[in-house]
Amino acid sequence: MTSDNHLAHALRTASVGREDAIFATDATSGATTTYGELWAQAAAMAGALTALGVVPGDRVAVQIEKSISGLACYLGTIMAGTIHLPLNTGYPAAEVSYFLTDAGPRIFVCDPSKLDALTPVAERAGVTHVLTLDADGLGTLTDAARDASPLLHAVARGADDLAAFLYTSGTTGRSKGAMLTHGNLASNAAVLRDLWQFTADDVLIHALPVFHTHGLFVAINVTLMAGGAIILHRAFDAAAILADFPWATTLMGVPTFYTRLLDQPGLTADACAGMRLFVSGSAPMLLDTHLKWRDRTGHTVLERYGMTETCMNTSNPYDGLRKPGTVGLPLPGVDLRLADADGQAVPPGEPGGIEVRGPNLFKGYWQMPEKTAADMRPDGWFITGDIGQIDDDGYVSIVGRSKDLIISGGYNIYPKEIEALIDDMDGVSESSAFGLPDPDFGESVAVAVVLDKGATVTPDQISAAIAPQLARYKHPRIVHIVSELPRNTMGKVQKNQLRDTYAAPMSGPRDS
C-alpha cells in the first residue's frame, strides 16, 4: 500500500497485519488509537490534501497543538508526497510570516483560535488554502478528510526525495529551512530503533513537542518503526509522567525533564522497575543530573547527540558502558571526525570541530545555496559548529561550540535574532545576548544593551518591544543596561566576559 513511498513504507511496515494494536493512549483522557485508525486517518488526510490539488514537492506547513490527528496529518503529508513543515506553536504571527514567506507552502494548517490572525499572514505569503486542526482533532482539515476519498496508494517517493523542512536559526541572521529527505528520516530512525532495541512491546512516554527532530523524527518515527506504542502527554507535567511509569517502558526527554523528575519525591528505583530505557538529548545533561538519576533510579540515562540538519549523530550504547558527560559513539553508518577550521583532522585527543557524514545528512538549506556551501565541505562533511573531543574508547564529548547559540530547556535560541530586534530600537546603540546558567532550563537568556548618548530606554521597554516579535522562550529573562560591551582587540564582543560578569546577578555591576 505504501511500498513506493520510501518513508511511509518504512514507518508502516512494523504494524502491517497488527491494525488492532494500540499506537497511542492519550494521557489525559485515556482514549486509545490503534494502528489501523492512525493510518486510516493519515490516508484520509492525504486524500484531503490531494483533493486540494497538492503535488509532490509542495510544502504543507502546520502550526498545531500536539494530538493524534496532528500525527496523522504528518503521516498524511508524507503519503501525499508533500513536504511536512511543522512550526513551533509558540511562534507569534511575525515569526510565522517569515517561515510561510520563505518556504512558500501551498497549504497551511493552524489552530482554529489563530485562524483570523494568521489567514492574512498566510495569504500574503501566497498560501492557497488555510485549514484548521485543534488539539481534539477537530477542524476544517478533519472535515475535508471526512469528505475526501482516502488515498489508498501513497504517492511514490524515493529515498532522495524531500519529506520535511525544519527551520533552524543561523548564527548570522535569517532562519534556514533544513531540507530532510525520506532517506534521512527512515535510515536514522531504523538505526536508533535497532541500537536502542525498540520493539512492538515498547511503550514510550511522549511528552516532547512534535515540531522538532527530537519529538517527531526520533520519538515518533522510532516508535512507529518498531510497531510500539506511545502515551501522549500534551505538555510536560512531571507528576503525570511519573504516574505513567508503571504502564511504560521508555522515556525520551531533554535534560529539563530529568531535573524536574528528580524533584518528584516519588521517583524511586521501585517506580522505575518496569522502565528499560531513559534517553536524553538536545542539550547537555549535567554530570550531577546523571549521577543523581543513577542513585535514585538505578538507571543510567542514555545520552545522545544530534542536530536538525543531521538527525542523530552519536549515542551511548544500549548494551555496554554509558559514559555520563559524553554523547557516546558515532551511530552505525555515520562518520564523525574532529577537524580544524580548514577541515584538517586535529591530533588524537585534541578538541576540534565536529564534522559528520552519512545517510543522515540533510540535502541543504532551502533556497540558500551559499549557506549550504558554508556548512558543507566539498567532500560531503557537514560542519556542525560543535566542538568535540574523542577519548581513547572513541566516546565523543561536546566541549564547546563555535556557533553562538543558547540552549534553554532544549530549545535553541540564536542571540543574533534577539540582538537584531533590540538594535533596531530607537535609543539603542548596540546589544549582546548571552546565556546564563539556569537550574531548570540549563541556560536562560540575558542581554546587555548599550544606549545612545542621552537615551533613557528602560529594560522594561526593551522587553515590551521584542515580546510580540519572538516566541516566549526566546525572551530575555534579564536586561542589563551597560555603558559599553566588553570587546577584544579585534573588536569582537566577549560573551564569556558577559557570562562571567552576570552569572551571579547579585554580585554583578549595579548598572541595570
Binding site for ligand MCA (CB under 6 A): 208-209, 212-215, 235-236, 254, 256, 281-282, 306-308, 408-411, 441, 472-473
Which region among 26-34, 199-207, 282-290, 345-353 touches ligand AMP (by CB under 6 A)?
Answer: 282-290
DSSP 63-119: E--S-HHHHHHHHHHHHTT-EEEE--TT--HHHHHHHHHHH--SEEEE-GGGHHHHH
- Compute the least distance from the CB of residue 256 to ligand AMP, in Å: 13
| Residue number, 142 or 169, with CB nearest to ligand MCA | 169
Which grid coordinates are listed for 39? 493510518
Q: Choose from ligand MCA, ligand AMP, none: what does 236 bind? Cβ within 5-8 Å by kind.
A: ligand MCA
Q: Which stretch binds ligand AMP (CB under 6 A): 43-51, 189-197, 291-299, 301-309?
A: 301-309
398 binds ligand AMP (CB under 6 A): yes
Taking the complex as a whole, the smallest distance from the CB of residue 35 to ligand AMP amounts, in Å, to 29
Taking the complex as a whole, how short is the minimal distance between the CB of residue 59 and ligand AMP, in angstroms?
A: 19
Closer residue to ligand AMP in complex, CB, 200/262: 262
Task: Return the closest-CA partner of residue 12 out of 202, 154, 137.
Answer: 154
Q: Where do the H-state alpha helices sit in 165-205?
A: 182-195
User: 90 near 63, Cβ under 8 Å?
Assistant: no
Cell readout for 352 is 576540534
Name the helix (H) or strand (E) containing 465.
helix 459-466
Among 401, 402, 423, 473, binds ligand AMP (CB under 6 A): 401
What order do you get walking across the sheet with 59-63 strand by strand?
A: 129-132, 107-110, 59-63, 83-86, 162-168, 176-181
Distance CA 221, CA 205 (A): 14
How many chain residues are in contact with ligand AMP, going by CB under 6 A? 18
- Closest contact distance (angstroms) between CB of 144 and ligand MCA is 29
Site for ligand AMP in 203-222 (CB under 6 A): 213
433 is written with which cell numbers? Answer: 545576548
408 binds, among ligand AMP, ligand MCA, none (CB under 5 to 8 A by kind): ligand MCA
Place of cell 553508518: 333
With binding defined as CB under 6 A, does residue 303 bind ligand AMP? yes
d(CA 334, CA 62): 30
Chain position whose Cβ is nearest to ligand AMP: 308
Give residues in contact with ligand AMP (CB under 6 A).
168, 213, 281-284, 303, 305-308, 327, 384, 386, 398, 401, 407, 412
